[in-house]
């Protein structure tokens, strides 16, 4: 009779083990989906940053093409506008930092400029634009920041 009592206990233990393994498998599936989503986001981010760098290069070329024939300048402008439209469709927005107070969360200070014309910490020039995607920083603006001039020892 003792053998009859052990069979249900073995089944209960196996059922419990099966349910635990099933729950663990479901957790692994969820974790895998999250990791895939993160990898996709990271890949999109890398690609989009590359596109943004190209746009910055095109914008600089357009600005310096005044000596070239109008067709070349128009072609670059059309290319820039097309790329901007693509990025805009993906939720990417450019922002300007010129005239604003330097913000390390949105800007990279590349150089400084000694001046009395602006308060220290004000962005004087923008080397490249900053971009956000759906409210998240994609590329920080590269800027020149005003600093107070050094006082000469004669003063």
CA dist 19 → 9, 23, 84, 99, 111 (Å): 15, 6, 52, 62, 61
Q: Does 135 share its domain with 99?
A: yes
Q: Does 17 share its domain with 75?
A: yes
Q: Does 35 share its domain with 49?
A: yes
Report field, pTM of the whole predicted structure over 0.85 = no
Q: What confidence tier does 81 reach under pLDDT thresholds 50, 70, 90? A: confident
Instruction: Give the end of a domain, one of 44, 64, 90.
Output: 90
Q: Does 83 share its domain with 103?
A: no
Question: How many domains is the chain partitioned into structurally?
Answer: 2
- Among residues of the chain, what percentage have pLDDT more than 70? 89
Q: Does 106 share its domain with 124?
A: yes
Q: Does 42 share its domain with 110?
A: no
Residue 128: which domain range?
Answer: 93-155
Residue 114 sits in a domain whose CATH number is 2.30.22.10
Question: Residue 54: which residues within 8 A CB-CB, separation 6 or more?
Answer: 83
Task: Write out pLDDT tens, residues 52-79.
Answer: 888 887 777 777 776 666 667 777 788 8
Task: Write out pLDDT tens, residues 87-135.
Answer: 888 889 999 999 999 999 999 999 999 999 999 999 999 999 999 998 8
- Ordered DSSP codes for 104-127: TTTEEEEEEEE-SSS-TTBEEEEE
Q: Does 21 share its domain with 5?
A: yes
Residue 84 confidence (pLDDT) above 80: yes
Neighbours of 108 (CB within 10 A): 15
Q: Does 85 share its domain with 139?
A: no
Q: For 76-88, what is the mean pLDDT?
A: 83
Q: Does 6 share its domain with 53?
A: yes
Q: Does 56 share its domain with 124?
A: no
Give the pair of three-digit tokens for residue 31: 């974790």
Q: Does 1 share its domain with 74?
A: yes
At CA 138, angle to CA 136 and CA 143, rounded to 5? 115
């Amino acid at each position: 009779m003792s053998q009859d009592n052990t069979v249900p206990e073995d089944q209960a233990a196996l059922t419990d083990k099966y349910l635990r393994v099933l729950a663990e498998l479901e957790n692994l599936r969820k974790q895998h989906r999250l990791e895939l989503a993160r990898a996709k986001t990271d890949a999109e981010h890398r690609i989009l940053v590359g596109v943004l760098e190209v746009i910055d290069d095109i914008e600089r070329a357009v600005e310096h093409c005044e000596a070239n024939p109008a067709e070349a300048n128009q072609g670059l402008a059309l290319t820039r506008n097309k790329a901007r439209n693509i990025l805009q469709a993906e939720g990417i927005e450019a922002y300007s930092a010129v005239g604003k107070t330097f913000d390390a969360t949105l800007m990279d200070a590349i150089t400084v400029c000694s001046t009395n014309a602006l308060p220290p910490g004000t962005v004087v020039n923008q080397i490249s634009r900053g971009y956000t995607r759906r409210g998240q920083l994609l590329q920080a603006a590269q800027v020149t920041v005003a600093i107070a001039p050094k006082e000469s020892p004669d003063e």
